[in-house]
Amino acid sequence: MSDFVSSIMAWVKAKNPAEPEFHQAVEEVVESLELVIERHPEYRTARILERIIEPERVIMFRVPWVDDQGEIQVNRGFRVEMNSAIGPYKGGLRFHPSVTLGTLKFLAYEQVFKNSLTTLPMGGGKGGSDFDPKGKSDNEVMRFCQAFMNELFRHLGPNTDVPAGDIGVGGREIGFLFGQYKKLMNEFTGAFTGKGINWGGSLIRPEATGYGAVYFAAEMLAGRGESLEGKTCLVSGSGNVAQFTVEKVNILGGKCVTLSDSSGHIYDPEGIDEKKLAWVMELKNVRRGRIQEYTEQWGNATYTAVDPRLDSNQLWTHKADCAFPSATQNEINGKDAQNLLKGGVYVVSEGANMPTVPEGVKRFLDAGILYGPGKAANAGGVAVSGLEMSQNSLRMSWTREEVDSRLQLIIQSIHQVCKDAAERFGSPGNYVNGANIAGFLKVADAMMDQGVV
Ligand code: NDP
């Protein structure tokens, strides 16, 4: 680690103790920026790095609610408003028992660079709660969402802060959150994205993150004169991002052979075709069941439960060409990365945020495979959220084809911008450096223009 990176990291760790994911996210960006800072000392003088690391505002609040047994439950709510240099704060809400301030700071920080890459005017933020929607009734989820919004509403607005979904926050939760926001504000505005299609949502928003990750893989492959046609793909997760990743891979002629949840993964060597995917969507989005049930329905598949004694995830040991990690952060460790390479994987496009640990990233880069980091590869979701905001402002709805073609253009542009930035700053083919540098430059220049605020 250079003196520059180690001095920044020492400062970040001292100031933000016990936030390892936030440290990890910051370190990756700072390492990418060494040459940028050397060529542009004005950013150092203006202390842009120190300012970009510090959230503009953090809101933390109590969320009391009553469960179906009449018992009072207390959760904690957060919103990290990280950076508004290029637009209103924008980023999802995560409901998961593992959520801490540190998790949301890492996600909000990543979001700043990702949103900058989309070319749309969006700042970065992220929020959520340690509430676990799993096993809760619809009424309990509604009461929780209403209690959460009773505090958060005063911090939101179409020109201030516009949340969306993330892990544990899908269409059902956005509906309850938006309903309460509207009631408290007494106005119908586009202060959320991922809304239902009848009340201000955009076509293709549910599909956008998964589709975008597949488009990004297709762009990387096109650079080598290849396509996804006939490629075997590993997908982790079975939620929103994973489902639409499988859908788009199928459309482009590839074959997905795995899906997972936090209990284990299924392997279907014949591929998860349209019919099987429709069944998975019903299982996960309506019945809210476990992926293990797949093997009871589709006989040729096998199920492997997560084994906490192992130091690697068996999902990543299957032979394939491409991998789309679409579950959660740090789901690919160094050993998993090694297994992926051993199994023939030479394209990794991250639907999840920061799913690969630094050692794994290093292995991918050293091996020279096509590696699209989440910041770039999963930006399709927030890009279509940006398009939803535009449609709300214009009071118009674009067609499916129009939104999808704009999404494809945005992903193509992100791919190009990352490639160009990596070349310009001495690391051709390194999309990690490319994404960090290109995302940073736009926000840094806006911060320089706007003075010390
Ligand atoms: P969902 O809640 O729809 O699905 C999450 C999936 O990941 C589930 O299958 C879940 O399994 C699994 N999962 C969650 N936590 C863990 C864990 N700790 N260990 C193993 N598996 C886990 O979320 P999304 O599909 O929306 O999000 C997936 C990833 O994509 C996240 O990293 C998110 O930040 C990222 N992302 C999402 C965007 C979006 O538009 N939704 C946009 C950009 C990035 P189980 O049901 O057992 O918990």
CB 334, CB 318: distance < 8 Å? no
Strand order in the sheet with 258-261: 258-261, 264-267, 302-305
How many whole angstroms separate alpha carbon 166 and alpha carbon 180? Answer: 19
- Which structure tokens are listed for 181? 């926001």
- Residue 187 has a CB neighbour count (10 Å cut-off) of 10
CB 272, CB 241: distance < 8 Å? no
54 with 147, same domain: the answer is yes
Residue 391 lies in a domain: no
Is the pLDDT assigned to residue 2 strictly greater than 90?
Answer: no
Amino acid identity for residue 23 in this structure = H
106 with 224, same domain: the answer is no
Nearest CA to ligand 1 atom 48: 262
**Of the candidates 329, 346, 372, which is a domain's last residue?**
372
Residue 274 lies in a domain: yes
Residue 325 lies in a domain: yes
User: What's the total number of domains in the chain?
Assistant: 2
- Residue 271 has a CB neighbour count (10 Å cut-off) of 17
pLDDT band at 1; cut points 50, 70, 90: confident
Place of tokens 């990280």: 82
In sequence order, the β-bridge partners of residue 76 are: 62
- Percent of the chain surpassing pLDDT 70: 100
- Residue 410 has a CB neighbour count (10 Å cut-off) of 24
Q: Which atom of ligand 1 is nearest to the CA of 208?
A: 40
Is the pLDDT assigned to residue 346 strictly greater than 80?
Answer: yes
Probe target for ligand 1 pocket from 131, 172, 204, 240, with the most ligand atoms within 8 Å of CB? 240
In sequence order, the β-bridge partners of residue 77 are: 61, 129
C-alpha 166 to ligand 1 mean position (Å): 7
**Of the candidates 159, 188, 217, which is a domain's last residue?**
188
Could you list the beta-strand ranges (E) of 56-200: 57-66, 72-83, 89-95, 124-129, 161-164
pLDDT score, position 94: 98
311 with 182, same domain: the answer is no
pLDDT score, position 299: 86
C-alpha 206 to ligand 1 mean position (Å): 13
Residue 199 lies in a domain: no
How many whole angstroms separate alpha carbon 407 and alpha carbon 253? Answer: 20
CB 128, CB 160: distance < 8 Å? no
Is the pLDDT assigned to residue 189 strictly greater than 80?
Answer: yes
C-alpha 261 to ligand 1 mean position (Å): 9
pLDDT digits (tens, 9 = 90+) for 76-106: 999 999 999 999 999 999 999 999 999 999 9
Q: Which atom of ligand 1 is nearest to the CA of 327?
A: 7
pLDDT band at 393; cut points 50, 70, 90: very high
Place of tokens 């957060």: 78
147 with 224, same domain: the answer is no
- Residue 344 has a CB neighbour count (10 Å cut-off) of 12
Which range of residues forms the domain containing residue 111?
Answer: 3-188
135 with 236, same domain: the answer is no
Give the single-character DSSP code of 228: S
pLDDT score, position 340: 98
354 with 252, same domain: the answer is yes
C-alpha 239 to ligand 1 mean position (Å): 6
Instruction: Specify whether 126 is catalytic.
Output: yes
CB 118, CB 444: distance < 8 Å? no
pLDDT band at 111; cut points 50, 70, 90: very high
Residue 423 lies in a domain: no
Is the pLDDT assigned to residue 235 strictly greater than 80?
Answer: yes
C-alpha 325 to ligand 1 mean position (Å): 10
Residue 43 backbone dihedrals phi, psi, to 5 degrees:
-65, -35
Place of tokens 């060529």: 39
Mean pLDDT for the stretch of residues 171-180: 98
95 with 138, same domain: the answer is yes
C-alpha 51 to ligand 1 mean position (Å): 29
The secondary structure of the chain in percent helix, strand, coil, rounded to multiples of 5, reads 50, 15, 35
Residue 399 lies in a domain: no
**Of the candidates 348, 372, 396, which is a domain's last residue?**
372
**Mean residue pLDDT across the chain:** 98
Residue 296 maps to which CATH number? 3.40.50.720
pLDDT digits (tens, 9 = 90+) for 419-453: 999 999 999 999 999 999 999 999 999 999 999 99
70 with 148, same domain: the answer is yes
Residue 198 lies in a domain: no
Q: Which atom of ligand 1 is nearest to the CA of 329?
A: 32
Alpha carbon 354 to its chain's center: 8
Mean pLDDT for the stretch of residues 326-339: 98
252 with 178, same domain: the answer is no
CB 228, CB 254: distance < 8 Å? yes
Q: Which atom of ligand 1 is nearest to the CA of 351?
A: 30
247 with 134, same domain: the answer is no
> What are the start-end ranges of the H helices in 155-286?
171-185, 205-222, 240-251, 274-281
> How many degrees, rounded to 5, is the angle at CA 218 between CA 212 and CA 224?
150
pLDDT digits (tens, 9 = 90+) for 125-160: 999 999 999 999 999 999 999 999 999 999 999 999
Bridging pattern class, strands 347-349 and 322-324: parallel
From residue 39, alpha-carbon distances to 33, 36, 238, 426, 442 in Å are 10, 5, 44, 12, 16
Is the pLDDT assigned to residue 14 strictly greater than 80?
Answer: yes
308 with 182, same domain: the answer is no
CB 67, CB 73: distance < 8 Å? yes
The active-site residue out of 90, 114, 126, 375 is: 126
Residue 48 maps to which CATH number? 3.40.50.10860
Probe target for ligand 1 pocket from 241, 315, 353, with the most ligand atoms within 8 Å of CB? 241
52 with 173, same domain: the answer is yes
Is the pLDDT assigned to residue 259 strictly greater than 90?
Answer: yes
- Ligand 1 — pocket residues by CB below 6 A? 165-168, 170, 209, 237-242, 261-263, 326-328, 351-353, 378, 381
CB 189, CB 178: distance < 8 Å? no
